[in-house]
Amino acid sequence: MSIKKIAITTGGGDAPGLNGVIRAVTLAACRRGWECVGIRHGFDGILHADEFEDGGTIALTPSRVRGIGHLGGTILGTTNRGNPFSYRVALPDGTFEIQNISDRLLKGFQDLEIDALVAIGGDGTMEIACQVAELGITVVGVPKTIDNDLDGTIATFGFDTAVSFATEAIDRLHTTGASHNRVMIVEVMGRHAGWIALEAGLAGSADVILIPEIPFDLAKVAEKVNQRNATNRNFSIISVAEGALPIGGEASYRTTGGIANLGGLGEWVAENLRPLVPNQIRTVVLGHLLRGGSPSSRDRLLALRFGTAAVRALEAGKKGVMVGLNPPEIHYVPLEEATRKMKLVPVDCDMIQTAEDLGTCMGR
Ligand code: F6P
């Protein structure tokens, strides 16, 4: 099939580098003489086109994407509640029902004469992309997430920026923690994977790193803090992944607007560590700060490489694949393969061995 027009969507939580991919796809597509449109807010720009002043899609031209590569967020907008195969539809009586409204998506693609889709997102978006492909739409996925938990790629863009920011935060906590002889706990995002807490914790010389892959024993954490106190290192830094959990316990969730999200473990650790150590304890939750701001140079490069590789894939007639990094090359993996399992930190990996050889407590 010869391509004349492609669409781009950004889905799920935003991550630094999304605009870089939009720019890269647009420039590479326009060089091939293809038309390019961006769908607003995941697929909502098509599913609810009438609700958008601009009709729900944006014409992406080289001049429209000029100067956006270094900007965080996404110029298209995004949503993590816009799955067309299980959409929350408001009923006339004010209640909601989950419905499959993918026929609306297919019709929108036909009306707009879109030949192919570049879907940029994390595991949720890749799963939706898989189903969109089953509707007969040509799809190529581009992996994004600060969590780095997508399989089929060594790295996702957004992760490096998040780790750099968390590392800088830990650096800053060292000086204030040391001045007050405190235990400083920093809670970072990452869902059920500990990549951010581990890499930032190592790079920032945290004394304790708690990740979901290794359920922790709080007594070991207290032992580490007290050992440091005994050797005149009267402060400690603890890097906590939001999805980490105590041995035999559960992950911590917070419910906002009826939706439960991981969060609150930092406070839990503080509360339960207080009786076990003499230090004052303070908790900092980095949360969405990890997703904001300019992408790092590594993430900008990944975004450009992924975006142009997605266009080359479409040109070569590939479909139903996700672009991935397999150093030093970019490769393509079937979407089903990329979404089969979460990429977790292997508990025997060298980074964990490194941490433990340095004397860092991994909670065990
Ligand atoms: O997947 C990215 C992520 O930032 C996770 O690390 C975090 O648990 C989640 O999204 C937060 O989601 P929301 O944007 O709904 O607050």
Tens digit of pLDDT per residue, the chain (364 long)? 789 999 999 999 999 999 999 999 999 999 999 999 999 999 999 999 999 999 999 999 999 999 999 999 999 999 998 999 999 998 999 999 999 999 999 999 999 999 999 999 999 999 999 999 999 999 999 999 999 999 999 999 999 999 999 999 999 999 999 999 999 999 999 999 999 999 999 999 999 999 999 999 999 999 999 999 999 999 999 999 999 999 999 999 999 888 899 999 999 999 999 999 999 999 999 999 999 999 999 999 999 999 999 999 999 999 999 999 999 999 999 999 999 999 999 999 999 999 999 999 999 9
Ligand 1 atom at shortest distance from the alpha carbon of 259? 15
Spacing, Cα 290 to ligand 1 middle (Å): 10
The pLDDT value given to residue 259: 87
Which residue owns the Cα nearest ligand 1 atom 10?
13
Inter-residue contact 29 to 140 (CB < 8 Å): no
Cβ of 150 less than 6 Å from ligand 1: no
Spacing, Cα 232 to ligand 1 middle (Å): 38
**Cα atoms in the 13 Å half-sphere on the side-chain side of 320:** 10
Contacts of 21 (CB under 8 A, 6+ apart): 8, 120, 142, 144, 157, 303, 304, 306, 307, 310
**Cα atoms in the 13 Å half-sphere on the side-chain side of 188:** 35
The pLDDT value given to residue 326: 96
Q: What kind of fold does domain 161-292+346-357 have according to CATH? A: Rossmann fold (3.40.50)
Contacts of 47 (CB under 8 A, 6+ apart): 82, 84, 87, 101, 104, 105, 108
Q: What kind of fold does domain 5-157+295-327 have according to CATH? A: Rossmann fold (3.40.50)
Which of 44, 147, 151, 207 is the catalytic position? 147
Which residue owns the Cα nearest ligand 1 atom 12?
13
186: left (phi over 0), alpha (psi -120 to 50) or beta: beta
SS percent in the chain: helix, strand, coil, step 5: 35, 20, 40
CA–CA dist 165, 296 (Å, integer): 10
Contacts of 245 (CB under 8 A, 6+ apart): 212, 215, 216, 251, 252, 265
Domain ranges, ordered by start, for the chain: 5-157+295-327, 161-292+346-357
Predicted structure pTM score: 0.96
Ligand 1 atom at shortest distance from the alpha carbon of 263? 8
Cβ of 80 less than 6 Å from ligand 1: yes
Domains 5-157+295-327 and 161-292+346-357 alike in fold? yes
